[in-house]
Structure 1
Amino acid sequence: MTGMVDAATEFINRTLENEGAWYRADDVEARLGGALASYGSSVGAVRGTVRDALNKFRDLDHDGVTMLASALWGRPRPGSRPVFERRLAAVVLLQARVGLLLHTDLTRIEGFLRSAETPELAGPLVKDVVIPLLARLDGTRRHKADVVIGRWKQDPDPRLREAAARVSEQPAG
C-alpha cells in the first residue's frame, strides 16, 4: 500500500504544481499571511486532480486514503512549508471517501484541524468530513466519537472548540 500511496502523492503533487499560476500563488500566500505556501492551482484543478488520482489509484482502501491524506497534509519536502493546494487536496480526498472513514480517524482529523491555518481548510473538514462521518456512526462507535468531540469542546485550541460547536449544532443522527 505504501508504494501506491507514494505514487498517488507524487501524481497529485506534480499535477498541482503543473496546474499552478504565480499570480494565484501570490494571492493565496498573501491572503493566508504566509502561513502556507501555494502552487497557485485553482480549486477546480485540485478537485479534478483528486478525481483523476482516485480513478488512477482505484485500490486505495481506508488505510491508503488516510495515509494519502496525511502525506498531502504534510510538507512536500523536508524544510519546505506545507502547501495550501496539497492540504485542500487532502480535504477533497476525505470528502470523496468519507464513507471509508472510521471513528478512530477523528484523531487524524483533529491534527488537521489544529494545523489548518485557515477556515478555507477547517470549514470543509468539519462540514463535509466530520459531520457526515458522525452521522453514519451508531452505538459504541458513536459514543467513542462523542467522547472525542467532547474533548474538543474543552480544548484550548479555538479551532477545535469551533469544530465541536459546529458538530453540536447538527441534529442527532
Structure 2
Amino acid sequence: MNQTVIDAAAFIDTTLQNEGAWYRADDVESRVGGAMSSYGSSVGAVRGTVRDAGRKFKDFAHDDVTALASLLWGQPHPGRRPVYERRLAAVVLLQSRVGLLRHTDLTRLEGFIRSADSRELVDPLISDVVVPLLTVLEGQDRQRADVVMTRWRLDPDDSIRRAASLTAEIAGNT
C-alpha cells in the first residue's frame, strides 16, 4: 500500500475524530448493537471529510481508491473494534468513485457486506455502489458479475442473500 493512501486514511480518521460528539457516538453504538465503535461524527462531516480528502489527495486511481476503502473499513488499530464513521467514509468514497470500480471489486464489496454489522452501511453500499457498478458492465465482465450475483443469492449468509435481493430489487426499478 502506498504512502499516499496511508496518509489519506490518517487524514480522514483524524478529521472524523475531531468532528465527533459523544452523544452521537452513544446513539450510533446503541443502533449498531456494540458491533462497532463510533466517533460521533455527523453524516455531513463524513461526506465533507471524504470530499476534502479527495481534494487534498488528488489523482487516486482504482487501486488507490479500493486500498483506501479497505483501510477505512478495517480496524483502526489491532485489537480495536471497527469504527462506524470510518466505514461510512469508505462507502462515501466508493459512491464518489464508483466509475473507477470493476467487476472484480464485487469480491471486496462482498467482504464489506459480510462484515458490515449494519444495514445503515449495507443499503447505500448496494444502492449507490453495487447497482451502479452492475449497470455499466458489459460483455464478459457482466457475465462474471452475474455469476457473483447468483452466488450471492445462494449464499448461506443472510446478509449476502439480502444484499442480492436488494440489488435485484433496485436494479429492477432503474
Check whether TM > 0.5: yes
- Cα distance, 1:171 vs structure 2: 3.3
Q: Aligned equivalents of 1:94 and 1:31: distance in 2?
A: 23
**Identity %, equivalent residues:** 65
User: Which consecutive segments of 4 or more residues in structure 1 shift more than 4 A?
Assistant: none
How many matched pairs? 173
CA distance in 1, matches of 2:2, 2:93: 17
Partners of 1:152 and 1:50 in 2: CA distance = 29
For 1:157, the equivalent position in structure 2 comes to 157
Shift of 1:120: 0.2
**Cα shift at 1:117:** 0.4
Structure 2 unaligned blocks of 5 or more: none
TM-score calculated relative to the size of structure 2: 0.97
CA shift digits 1:20-41 (9 cap, x unpaired): 0011101111111100000000
The aligned residue for residue 121 of structure 1 is 121
TM-score (norm 1): 0.97
Counterpart CA distance in 2 for 1:80 and 1:147 is 35
Which blocks of at least 5 consecutive residues in structure 1 are unaligned? none
Distance in 2 (CA, whole Å) between partners of 1:57 and 1:68 is 11
* Separation in 2, partners of 1:151, 1:40: 36
CA RMSD after TM alignment = 1.2
Answering whether residue 172 of structure 2 is matched by residue 171 of structure 1, we say yes
Amino acid at match of 1:135: T
3-state SS in 1 of match to 2:53: helix
Q: What residue is the counterpart of 2:34 in the other structure?
A: 34
Q: What one-letter code is carried by the residue in structure 1 that aligns with 2:140?
A: T
